[in-house]
A and B are shown apart, each in its own frame.
Chain A
Amino acid sequence: MSLEIVGITVLWIFLYGYLIVASIDFGAGFFAFYGRIKGKEHTLNVLISRYLSPVWEVTNVFFVFFFVGLVGFFPDAAYYYGTALLLPGSIAIILLAIRGSFYAFGNYGSKDNIVYLFLYGATGLLIPASLSTALTISEGGFLEEQGDKVVFLARELFTSPYSWSVVVLSIVSVLFISATFLTYYANRAGDMDSREELRKFSLFWSPPTILASLLVFVSLREHNPEHFTSAIDIWWMFALSLVCFLGASLFIYRRKHHGLAFTLVMLQFFFAFFGYGASHLPYILKPFITIETGVTNPTMGMALVIVFIAGLLLLIPSLYLLMRLFLFDADYVKGNK
Chain B
Amino acid sequence: MVLDSVILSRMLTSTTLAFHIIFATIGVGVPVMISIAEFMGIKRNDPHYLLLARRWARGFTITVAVGVVTGTAIGLQLSLLWPSFMQVAGQVIALPLFMETFAFFFEAIFLGIYLYTWDRFKNKWIHWLLTIPVMIGSSASALFITTVNAFMNTPQGFELKDGKAIEIDPIAAMLNPATPTKVFHVLTTAYLTSALILAAITAFAILRKKGGDYHKKALRLTMVSALIFAFATAIAGDLSAKFLAEYQPEKLAAAEWHFETEENADLIVFGTLDENNEVHNEIRLPGFLSFLAGSSFDTEVIGLNEFPEDERPPLWVHYLFDLMVSIGFYSIFIAAAYILFWKWKKRNEWNKPLLWGIVASGPLAMLAIEFGWIYAEVGRQPWILRGYMKVAEAATKADGVGLTFALFVGLYVLLGILCVVVLIKMFKNRPAEAELEQRFPKKAS
Bound Cα distance A103, B61 (Å): 11
**Cβ of A296 under 8 Å from chain B:** yes
Residue of B62, B69, B76, B84 touching A79 (CB-CB under 8 A): B84
A104 interfacial contact with B, CB 8 Å: yes
Q: Do A71 and B94 touch (CB < 8 A)?
A: yes
Q: How far is the CA of A239 from the CA of B426 in the complex (A)?
A: 52
Among A85, A97, A304, A308, contact of B69 (Cβ-Cβ < 8 Å): A97
**Given A75-B87, A86-B401, A94-B408, is A318 in contact with B109 using a C-beta cutoff of 8 Å?**
yes
Contacts A86-B400, A299-B168: A71 and B90 contacting too (C-beta < 8 A)?
Answer: yes
Tell me if B69 and A96 are in contact (CB < 8 A): yes
Q: Which of A76, A84, A97 contacts B398 (CB 8 A)?
A: A84
Given contacts A101-B65, A300-B92, A318-B109, contact A82 B83 (CB under 8 A): yes
Cα A313 to Cα B91 with chains together (Å):
25
Quick check: B120 and A71 within 8 Å, CB to CB? no
A85 in contact with B98 (CB, 8 Å): no
Q: A74 vs B100: C-alpha distance in the bound complex, in angstroms? A: 18
A150 proximal to B (CB < 8 A): yes
Contact residue among B98, B400, B415 (Cβ-Cβ distance under 8 Å from A101): B415
Q: At the interface, yes or no: A68 with Cβ under 8 Å from chain B?
A: yes
- The answer on a CB contact under 8 Å between A318 and B76 is no
Q: Does the CB pair A108–B426 fall under 8 Å?
A: yes
A303 lies within 8 A of B95 (CB): yes
Using Cβ atoms and an 8 Å threshold, which residues of chain A touch B101? Answer: 61, 64-65, 68-69
CB of A251, distance to nearest CB on chain B (Å): 30
Residues of B within 8 A of A98 (CB): 411, 414
Tally of contacts, chain A with chain B, CB under 8 A: 221
Which of B68, B80, B91, B94 is packed against the most chain A CB atoms within 10 Å? B94
Check if B317 is an interface residue, CB within 8 A of chain A.
no
Residue B156, interface by CB 8 Å: no
- Chain A residues near B285 (CB-CB < 8 A): none
User: Closest residue to B83 on the A side, CB-wise?
Assistant: A82
Complex CA gap A89/B12 in Å reads 14
Nearest-Cβ distance from residue A21 to partner chain B, whole angstroms: 12
B411 to nearest A CB, angstroms?
5
Note all chain B residues with C-beta closer than 8 A to A55.
112
CA distance A90 to B410 in the complex (A): 13
Q: Judge if A232 is at the interface, Cβ distance under 8 Å.
A: no
Q: How far is the CA of A149 from the CA of B105 in the complex (A)?
A: 35
**Contact between B95 and A304 (Cβ–Cβ < 8 Å)?**
yes
Q: How many chain B residues touch the partner (CB < 8 A)?
A: 75
**Does the CB pair B108–A61 fall under 8 Å?**
yes
B403-445 contacts to A (CB < 8 Å): 403-404, 407-408, 411, 414-415, 418-419, 422-423, 425-426
Quote the shortest CB–CB distance from B53 to chain A (angstroms): 16
Instruction: Output the nearest chain B residue to A318 by Cβ-Cβ distance.
Output: B109
Closest to A93 in B: B73
Q: Are B76 and A89 in contact (CB under 8 A)?
A: yes
Q: Which residue of A58, A80, A148 contacts B109 across the interface (Cβ within 8 Å)?
A: A58
- Give A213 to B306 CA distance when docked, in angstroms: 65
Contacts of B105 in A (CB 8 A): 58, 61, 65, 311, 315
The interface centre, meaning the residue of A83, A97, A315 with most chain B CB atoms within 10 A of its CB, is A97
Choose among A109, A303, A311 the residue with the greatest number of B CB atoms under 10 Å from its CB: A109
Contact between A322 and B87, CB atoms less than 8 A apart: no
Task: Tell me, yes or no, whether B271 is within 8 Å of chain A by CB.
Answer: no
Interface check A225, CB cutoff 8 A: no
B99 is an interface residue with CB less than 8 A from chain A: yes
- Decide if B400 touches A315 in the complex (CB within 8 Å): no
State the CA gap A57–B115 with chains docked (Å): 12
Chain B residues with CB under 8 Å of A35's CB are: none
B79 x A71 contact (CB < 8 A) = yes
Query: Which residue of A has the minimal Cβ distance to B84?
Result: A79
Chain A, residues 148-191, CB within 8 Å of chain B (1/0): the string is 11101000000000000000000000000000000000000000
Output the least CB separation between B403 and chain A (Å): 7
Within 8 A of A (CB), among B392-406: 396-398, 400-401, 403-404
A90 & B170 in contact (Cβ 8 Å cutoff): no
CB-CB contacts below 8 Å: B66-87 with A? 66, 68-73, 75-84, 86-87
| Contact partners of B86 in chain A: CB under 8 A | 71, 75, 78-79, 82
Taking a contact as CB atoms under 8 Å apart, the answer to whether B422 and A297 are in contact is: no
Cβ-based interface call for B260 (8 A): no
A1 lies within 8 A of chain B by Cβ = no
**Distance of A104 Cα from B116 Cα, bound (Å):** 14
Say yes or no for B104: interface residue by CB 8 A criterion: yes
Report the minimum CB–CB distance from A211 to chain B (whole Å): 33
The minimal Cβ–Cβ distance linking A68 to chain B, given in whole angstroms, is 5
Assuming A97-B70, A297-B168, A318-B109, is B120 touching A337 (CB within 8 A)? yes
Interface: B166 (CB within 8 A)? yes
Q: Which residues of A contact B325 (CB under 8 A)?
A: none
Q: Please name the residue on chain B nearest to A312 by beta carbon.
A: B102
Determine how close the nearest CB of chain A comes to the CB of B207; give it in whole angstroms: 25
Asked whether any CB of chain A lies closer than 8 Å to the CB of B295, the reply is no
Contact with B along A120-157 (1 / 0, CB 8 A): 00000000000000000000000000001110100000
Judge whether A81 and B115 touch: CB under 8 Å.
no
A109–B64 Cα gap in the complex (Å)?
13
Contact A149 B397 (CB under 8 A): yes
Whether A93 lies near B76 (C-beta < 8 A) is: yes
User: In the complex the two chains form, is A78's CB within 8 Å of B115's CB?
Assistant: no
Answer whether residue B298 sits at the interface, using C-beta atoms and an 8 A cutoff. no
Is B117 an interface position by the 8 A CB rule?
yes
Q: Shortest Cβ distance from A268 into chain B, in angstroms?
A: 26
Q: A-facing mask of B97-134, CB < 8 A → 1, else 0?
A: 11111101110111111011101100000000000010
Most chain B CB atoms below 10 A, which of A69, A79, A85, A89: A79
Interface membership of B4, Cβ < 8 A: no
Contact at A101–B69, with CB atoms within 8 Å?
A: yes
Contact assessment for B90 and A87 in the assembled complex, using a CB-CB cutoff below 8 Å? no
Given known pairs A97-B411, A297-B168, the reply for A64 and B75 (CB within 8 Å) is yes
Measured between beta carbons, the chain B residues less than 8 angstroms from A87 are 398, 400, 403-404
Nearest chain B CB to A12's CB is how many angstroms away? 16
> Which residues of chain A are near B78, meaning CB under 8 Å?
78
Tell yes or no: A224 within 8 A of B by CB: no
Q: How far is the CA of A127 from the CA of B397 in the complex (A)?
A: 26
List 22 A-B pairs, Cβ < 8 Å. Answer: A58-B112, A60-B69, A61-B104, A64-B71, A64-B101, A78-B86, A80-B83, A83-B83, A86-B80, A90-B77, A90-B404, A93-B76, A97-B70, A100-B65, A101-B66, A149-B397, A297-B91, A300-B91, A303-B170, A319-B109, A325-B120, A337-B120
Report the 10 A-B pairs with minimum CB-CB distance, sorted nearest first. Answer: A72-B94, A104-B65, A82-B83, A109-B422, A75-B90, A82-B79, A97-B69, A78-B86, A54-B112, A79-B87
A86-B396, A296-B91 provided; 16 other pairs, C-beta below 8 A?
Answer: A53-B115, A58-B112, A64-B71, A69-B101, A72-B94, A75-B94, A78-B90, A97-B72, A100-B69, A101-B66, A104-B62, A149-B397, A315-B106, A318-B110, A322-B113, A325-B113
